[in-house]
Amino acid sequence: MWKCMRAASLWTIWEERNGRIFQEKERSLAEVKECIMTRTISWLKTSDLFVNYSIDDLRRNWAVVASTTSTNIILQAERKSPPEGHKFTKEGSKQALLNLTQDPEMGGGYIFEFDKFSDRDVCRDFVGKVLGKIQSMVSSGQDARAVSERSAVAVHDEQLSTREMEHRMKLLREDSELQKLHKQFVIAGVLTESEFWATRKKLLDTDARTSKQRVGFKSAMLADVRPLTDGRTNKVTFSLTPEIIHQIFAEKPAVHQAFLNFVPNKMTEKDFWTKYCRAEYLHRTKNSIAAAAEAAEDEELAIFLKHDDILASEARRKIRRVDPTLDMEADQGDDYMHLPDHGIFRDGNKEVMDSEYELYKRTLSQDLNRHAAVVLEGRALDLELGDTRTVAEALARSKQVELATESSDEKANEKRLERLSQMAGIEDLQSSRGLPFAPLCIKDPREYFDSQQANALQALGDTIGGMKPINYSLSTEEAYGSLRDLISEMKATGLNHPVVKPDVALKVLNALTQHLSSTKHHVGKNPQESVLDRLPRKTKEELLHHWTSIQELLKHFWSSYPITTTHLYSKVTRLKDAMSQIYPKLQEIKESMQSDFRHQVSLLVQPMLQALDAAFAHYEAELQKRSTKAGTRPNGTV
């Protein structure tokens, strides 16, 4: 394709030069660019790669076209046999590969190698989209070609990551109703993808939210590395993963400090870890004498074997900040370590305290406590575990920041002192403290009732249409007077005899029973039973589907008003066309029903038609307004 473009630009420039010299015809730079583009596209169309796309399509998706030069094989392969899945190597690895797997019957898959990762990414996204569409369109049996064409357009409109695309496809696959709506509107071009999903952000977000969880340290004591022993030779193998190294740095600040100091000045990382593992091994063998001996020889090793000084100072600092009202005396009694016949088993041996070499001993309880404290503190860093050096430095930085904030935290100190004084206070000797409160704010109810009367007068003019207004030619006194007269008259004459004429009563009774029996027949015995359930299944599904599609369309329709941009205008027109398509379908359903269901179906369809009518009326009104507005403008510009 680049050859094409080169040739086309040469040709166009030569033409332009000729034109300028011989015919004195000048064209602007933009026009020339456009010319080059058109030429290239028309030449490319001769290749069977692009023969099915229109020139407009290719022009609009130039980015895709430009990057597909190195991957034209993919498109050809796709069209012949749609791929099942695709895998790709991570960025940063040596090769940029895209692996398209296929149904094994059709013959294996393809592996493509790219020059640049950016190219590979574009193709990967494109393929991902195509795959998604293929999978969701398999049931409708649409041609893969049409799919790739549509997705070519779609790719240009939004830049979605593959993950998002896959997520959407998954949602569509799981919810068949959503899929039907999607097919009906997005594929038919009534709504764009972004509009369709704009109102469904909740669905798309939930997945993303769960993956944002910050994972802490594992509770297993990874820092307690166990070596693998090869039974044959005397070699012992320790395997350290970045996760383990991260934990080691978190739990043993002396090791962390040593790492920062020694590597890469004094020794390489590998040596450092070898020494560390050696120290671990010595600990494990519980040979404190040997440990002491080795420590004396190698000062670096000594760091790993001795107790952690940094940890000790940290602990001392923490103890200073402990609440003084805490009763530490009680802990002395809990010390069962020094009792005879007591001890914690570790690796099958009982630990015995030996005071001489205590410096070189490490107890299980110390390790456990330290590990627990670190796990509870949480992961200080969020970066991916890659290079050990960067991890170490990042940890050091975060620790420094922590220290700085601690020491300069005046407020925290103040709060602590306040709390101490509160806890140590003797309640009997103190006066009662006024609790903080927020003032209550209740709206004046009189305001509400006063407005009632004023509004009631206004409401007189708004009689609801279709109702017979009651004639009020009398004044209030007359009205009251006549009523009271009636009552006194009644007191004098007594109750009306008979209360009800028998034939009237019979008529009423008959009418009531007939009404009841007819509604029972129509609506069913159970008042909870809905009319929908009594209709044949196909009709019910159709009606429900029409209802959801009308809801969707109306949602987008009403949200586009007021119309401010041409985009909204075209959208509204599209929506209106779609709605006018559904309208006759509803009428059809009504007519096609059998007579006994017809009434109920028309009752169900009625609100849908009303909603559509309201939308159409609004549209017409807006159109009218616009045309009158446009008419008043001088040039008729809209």
Partner 1 sequence: MASITSKLYSDDVSLLVVLLDTNPFLWSGENTTTNSLSFPKFLTHVFSFLNSILLLNQLNQVVVIATGLNSCDYIYDSSSSPTTVESLENGRMPALCSKLLQNLEEFLARDQELNKDESPPGIASSLLSGSLSLALCYIQKVFRSGPLHPQPRILCLQGSSDGPEQYVAIMNAIFSAQRSMVPIDACVIGAQHSAFLQQASYITGGVYLKPPQLDGLFQYLSTVFSTDLQSRSFLQLPKPVGVDFRASCFCHKKTIDMGYICSVCLSIFCKHHKKCSTCGGHYLVSCKISGFQV
Place of tokens 């569509």: 172
At residue 49, the 3 state secondary structure works out as coil
Q: Which of 111, 417, 474, 623 is in the footprint of partner 1 by CB under 8 A?
A: 474
Task: Check binding of 614 to partner 1 (CB under 8 A).
Answer: yes
Task: Check binding of 477 to partner 1 (CB under 8 A).
Answer: yes
Residues 6+ apart with CB under 8 A from 126: 64, 68, 151, 152, 155
User: Alpha helix locations (H) across 346-494?
Assistant: 364-377, 388-407, 410-424, 445-459, 476-493
What is the per-residue binding string for partner 1 in 179-198, x denoting contact by CB under 8 A?
Answer: --------------------
In the chain, the largest separation of any two C-alpha atoms, in whole Å, equals: 128
Residue nearer to partner 1 on the CB measure, 4 or 523 = 523
Residue nearer to partner 1 on the CB measure, 494 or 634 = 494
- To the nearest 10 degrees (0 to 180), the angle between helices 595-632 and 566-592 is 160
237: which strand partners? 228
Q: Which stretch binds partner 1 (CB under 8 A): 126-134, 344-352, 389-397, 481-489?
A: 481-489
Task: Check binding of 421 to partner 1 (CB under 8 A).
Answer: no
Task: Check binding of 519 to partner 1 (CB under 8 A).
Answer: yes
Place of tokens 């020491």: 407
For residue 531, the minimal CB distance to partner 1 (Å) is 11
Task: Check binding of 440 to partner 1 (CB under 8 A).
Answer: no
DSSP character for 427? G
CB 526 within 8 A of CB 534: no
For residue 587, the minimal CB distance to partner 1 (Å) is 19
> Which has the closest alpha carbon to 277: 247, 307, 255?
255
Task: Check binding of 621 to partner 1 (CB under 8 A).
Answer: no
Task: Check binding of 233 to partner 1 (CB under 8 A).
Answer: no
Q: Which stretch binds partner 1 (CB under 8 A): 197-205, 224-232, 605-613, 628-636?
A: 605-613
Q: Which of 18, 161, 219, 482 is in the footprint of partner 1 by CB under 8 A?
A: 482
For residue 362, the minimal CB distance to partner 1 (Å) is 60
DSSP 459-474: HTT-PPTT-PPPP--S
> Which has the closest alpha carbon to 132: 99, 102, 172?
172
For residue 592, the minimal CB distance to partner 1 (Å) is 23
For residue 615, the minimal CB distance to partner 1 (Å) is 9
For residue 597, the minimal CB distance to partner 1 (Å) is 16
CB 36 within 8 A of CB 30: no
DSSP character for 339? S
For the chain, what is the total number of helices (H) and then of strands (E)? 29, 7
Instruction: Report how far residue 146's alpha carbon sits from residue 480's, in angstroms, rounded to the nearest whole number.
Output: 80
CB 230 within 8 A of CB 237: yes
For residue 540, the minimal CB distance to partner 1 (Å) is 17
Contact set for partner 1, span 55-114 (CB under 8 A): none
Instruction: Report how far residue 316's alpha carbon sits from residue 491's, in angstroms, rounded to the nearest whole number.
Output: 99
Q: Which of 511, 617, 621, 623 is in the footprint of partner 1 by CB under 8 A?
A: 511
Task: Check binding of 452 to partner 1 (CB under 8 A).
Answer: yes
# residues contacting partner 1 (CB under 8 A): 60
What is the per-residue binding string for partner 1 in 483-502, x denoting contact by CB under 8 A?
Answer: xx-xxxxxx-xxxx--xxx-
Q: Which of 234, 237, 473, 566 is in the footprint of partner 1 by CB under 8 A?
A: 473
Q: Which of 270, 382, 464, 595 is in the footprint of partner 1 by CB under 8 A?
A: 464
CB 196 within 8 A of CB 182: yes
Residue nearer to partner 1 on the CB measure, 341 or 444 = 444
For residue 547, the minimal CB distance to partner 1 (Å) is 11
Task: Check binding of 462 to partner 1 (CB under 8 A).
Answer: yes
Task: Check binding of 444 to partner 1 (CB under 8 A).
Answer: no
Q: Which stretch binds partner 1 (CB under 8 A): 67-75, 348-356, 409-417, 474-482?
A: 474-482
Task: Check binding of 215 to partner 1 (CB under 8 A).
Answer: no
Instruction: Report how far residue 148's alpha carbon sits from residue 154's, in angstroms, rounded to the nearest whole number.
Output: 9
Tokens describing residue 300:
């670096």
Residue nearer to partner 1 on the CB measure, 398 or 451 = 451
Q: Which of 20, 218, 507, 585 is in the footprint of partner 1 by CB under 8 A?
A: 507
Cα dist from 366 to 252, 313, 335, whole Å: 11, 15, 14
Instruction: Report how far residue 524's alpha carbon sits from residue 269's, in angstroms, rounded to the nearest whole number.
Output: 82
Specify the DSSP element, H or E, that contains 350.
strand 349-350
Task: Check binding of 634 to partner 1 (CB under 8 A).
Answer: no
Task: Check binding of 457 to partner 1 (CB under 8 A).
Answer: yes
Task: Check binding of 410 to partner 1 (CB under 8 A).
Answer: no
Residues 6+ apart with CB under 8 A from 623: none
Cα dist from 410 to 182, 392, 404, 413, 467, whole Å: 59, 29, 12, 5, 74
Instruction: Report how far residue 243's alpha carbon sits from residue 129's, in angstroms, rounded to the nearest whole number.
Output: 35
Q: Which of 28, 476, 595, 628 is in the footprint of partner 1 by CB under 8 A?
A: 476
Residue nearer to partner 1 on the CB measure, 336 or 480 = 480
> Which has the closest alpha carbon to 298: 307, 290, 287?
290
Tokens describing residue 79:
């069209």
Task: Check binding of 349 to partner 1 (CB under 8 A).
Answer: no
Residue nearer to partner 1 on the CB measure, 2 or 480 = 480
Instruction: Report how far residue 600's alpha carbon sits from residue 530's, in angstroms, rounded to the nearest whole number.
Output: 11
Place of tokens 């195509």: 130
* 466 conformational bin, left if phi > 0, alpha if psi -120 to 50, beta if neither: left
Residue nearer to partner 1 on the CB measure, 21 or 460 = 460
Task: Check binding of 617 to partner 1 (CB under 8 A).
Answer: no
Task: Check binding of 526 to partner 1 (CB under 8 A).
Answer: no
At residue 237, the 3 state secondary structure works out as strand
For residue 510, the minimal CB distance to partner 1 (Å) is 10
For residue 452, the minimal CB distance to partner 1 (Å) is 5
Residue nearer to partner 1 on the CB measure, 245 or 612 = 612
What is the per-residue binding string for partner 1 in 534-573, x denoting contact by CB under 8 A?
Answer: ------------------------x---------------
At residue 391, the 3 state secondary structure works out as helix
Return residues touching partner 1 (CB under 8 A): 443, 448, 452-453, 455-460, 462, 464, 467-468, 470-480, 482-484, 486-491, 493-496, 499-501, 504-505, 507-509, 511-512, 515-516, 519-520, 523, 527, 558, 603, 607, 610-611, 614
